[in-house]
Structure 1
Amino acid sequence: MTTSSDRKTDGRPSLGTATGQRIPVPRRERKPAMAALAVLLIVGGALISAYLVMASGQRVPVISIAQPVAAGQRIPASALQEVQVSSTGGLDYIPWGDRTKVTQTFATVTLVKGALLTNGMISTGSSVAKGTVVVGLALKPGQLPAGGLQPGDRVALYAVSSQGGQSGTQSGTVLAPVATVYDVVQPGQNDIQADQVAVSVTVPVDQAPQVTQASSAGAVAVALLPAGEKAPQTPPRQTAPRQSTTPSAGESPGNPPASPRDRSTGNP
């Protein structure tokens, strides 16, 4: 039984569990279009990320240069090696499966070690850089580096004294400050003598006469050049004419020759 003390003085019942009433909460509006858009963005981003990962991981075998090859030289199989590159590079790389075809072509530019081979670097016909000619050298030990030479090496050519005669150029003269090794034939190959290495080099046209003259006399030595360097041009040394020390008639060995005036007047 309720008493007057259990009621509020203003006649309103108190709020609480006793009355069973709650504070009203505004209803949350649902937007299906926004939720669907959010789901599409999440799924699309995941698909794009997965594609980029798969594309970056896809690699193909292509041809790389294992050893230098001079411009105009036929590309040997030993100069080719397989490397893996990304298929999304967009460059004109030559597939490793075409290596047999590449060995039947010639280099249009000097191929350096580590470069990736492209179609613009090869040609089906032999060619030499414009303004240069190929000169053959028959070299003996001491006329080339002990480690040998490879096609594409940059070298300098010097005149040396020959055993059979004079080459016409002073020993030590720089015949070609920069030349490129075109081909190398080791002793015993192609009827080459056992003590000689046949080396073909490309030199500028204006330097070819003195190189061929020294080569025919066996008076050429080859020096390997570091990258970006060339041999300095050293002009031949001029030797002063020797003066005769034999006294002429009427002159004593210990006295200087008399002047024309002294001879005419008879003065000593």
Structure 2
Amino acid sequence: MTAPTAEPPPAEQATRRNRNGDGNTAEGAAAPEPPKLRRRPMLIAVSVLLTALGALLGAFLLSTLSGTDDYVAVRADIERGDVIKETDLVRTQLRRDNSISPLSWDEQRSLIGMYANVDMAKGSLVTRESVSAEIAPADGWSIVGLALTPGQGVTGDLRVGQPIEAVVVPASAEAITGRPTTYEGIVSSVDMSDDGQTKLVDVQVRTDDASPLAAAAARQEVAIVVKSKGNGSGDTAAEPSDSTSDTTPSASPTS
């Protein structure tokens, strides 16, 4: 018994009817041609322009939100008047901020050997105003160097910016009469001699007091007293500043 043959689907039957005996498609049943697309140059130009603008906007946002620069910071505490060494500086990365103007890391080499104008805490940024090539006194002030042997100064460390009182102590006991001559000043720098026995202290004093104090220092007749900034006596030396020359000079030394 022969199994019934399945009839092909209607679509296949129509295809077979449209074929000739040699298997070619009939002339009247040719496939239609696809429609031709019209190119519009204006739309292409606009799409290219929008793509470029999007790329530029994305790059700007990326640099604004995540862009950082390398700046100079201090590795450890630096006191005013200290000479800056290479080991004192460290690189730090921060986002750009127009409200501050720290020195970039590219300028790090130029800072070595300069002096600190202010106290800088560990991790603080270094600005152009916080360093200088040399320590120069303000108008109306002069720097006098003192070589203090044991007994002429305090045993503790002197800090740059400390107010002091330089006391003239004559070498001869007979010359001491009444209250000694004193000069008020500010410590500018501190160092030790090569033998470690003499403390070398630069002191900023009023220009009128510089000459007599230097003469007494050359005779090794000067001792210093550390004063408190908040002692409330009102007679501590004013901090040297650009406006110092406009202030009233301190009273002349008393004998």
Give the TM interval when normalised to the shorter protein. Answer: 0.5 to 0.7
**Residue 174 (structure 1) aligned with residue 182 (structure 2):** yes
Tell whether 2:136 aligns with 1:127: yes
Structure with bigger helix share is 2
Structure having the higher Rg: 1
1:118 aligns to 2:127 (yes or no): yes
Distance 1:159 1:103, change over 3 A: same
* 1:143 correspondence with 2:152: yes
Find the counterpart in structure 2 of residue 80 from structure 1.
88
Question: How many angstroms apart in 2 are the aligned matches of 1:166 and 1:181?
Answer: 30
Counterpart residue type for residue 96 of structure 2: T
TM-score normalised by L of structure 1: 0.50
Deviations 1:203-252 (A, max 9, x none): 111222342243233232223344566875499889xxxxxxxxxxxxxx
Query: Which residues of 2 match residues 148-227 of structure 1 at below 5 A?
Result: 148-150=157-159, 152-159=160-167, 161-164=169-172, 171=179, 173-176=181-184, 179-188=185-194, 194-227=196-229
Partner of 1:181: helix, strand, or coil? strand
Query: 1:94 offset after TM fit, Å?
Result: 1.5
Give distance in 1, aligned partners of 2:92 and 2:215: 48
Question: Identity rate of aligned residues, in percent?
Answer: 19
Unaligned runs of 5+ in 2: 1-58, 237-250
Change (3 A) 1:227 1:186: same
TM-score, normalization: structure 2? 0.52
Secondary structure at the residue paired with 1:183? strand
Equivalents in 1 of 2:173, 2:189: separation in Å? 27
Give the number of aligned pairs.
179
Residues 102 and 51 of structure 1, relative CA distance in 2, 3 Å threshold: closer
C-alpha separation in 1, matches of 2:183 and 2:231? 16
Where does residue 80 of structure 2 map in the other structure? 69
Closer, same or farther: CA 149–88 of 1 in aligned 2, 3 Å: same
Q: Which amino acid aligns with 1:157?
A: E
Aligned counterparts, 1:27-66, within 5 A: 54=66, 58=68, 60-64=70-74, 66=77
- RMSD (Å) for aligned C-alpha atoms: 4.1
Extract unaligned runs of 5+ from structure 1. 1-46, 239-268
AA partner of residue 66 (structure 1):
D
Contact conserved, 2:183 with 2:205, CA < 8 A, in 1?
A: no
Deviation, 1:183, is 2.8
Contact 2:181-2:254 within 8 A present in 1 as well = no
Query: In structure 2, the residue corresponding to 1:175 is in which secondary structure?
Result: strand
